[in-house]
Amino acid sequence: MPICPEPAVIFCHCAAVSDRAVATAVEAGARTVAQVCRATGAGRDCGSCVFSVKKLICEHVATEVPSMEVGVAAG
Ligand code: FES
């Protein structure tokens, strides 16, 4: 019996971006909030998902993203 992967979680409702999209962007080399937002489309409308983007990046790369990046991505 095949193992079912965990379902993707949509965290950016404005652009329908999932946690998997962030993982893919990080795997492709994105390391900052701005880079991930550019790659996925997250954080470009209301901006309420930007902290979720930051958290997901930290989970995937295990390094801290400077807080200053949040303002750049949301603007
Ligand atoms: S929820 Fe991501 S930009 Fe609005």
Candidates 9, 12, 17: which one to mutate for ligand 1, based on the most atoms within 8 Å of Cβ?
Answer: 12
pLDDT classification of 36: cutoffs 50, 70, 90 = very high
What does the alpha-carbon distance between residue 61 and residue 1 come to, in Å, rounded to a whole number?
Answer: 32
Mean pLDDT calculated for residue range 41-52: 96
Nearest CA among 11, 1, 57 for reference residue 31: 57
| Model confidence at 46: pLDDT above 70 | yes
**Residues in contact with ligand 1 (CB, 6 Å cut-off):** 12-15, 42-49
* pTM for the predicted model, two decimal places: 0.75
Q: Which residue has the higher pLDDT, 59 or 4?
A: 59
Residue 3, pLDDT > 80, answer no
More confident of the two residues 18 and 65: 18
Interior angle at CA 65, CA 38 and CA 46, nearest 5: 45
Q: In the chain, what are the domain boundaries? A: 31-75
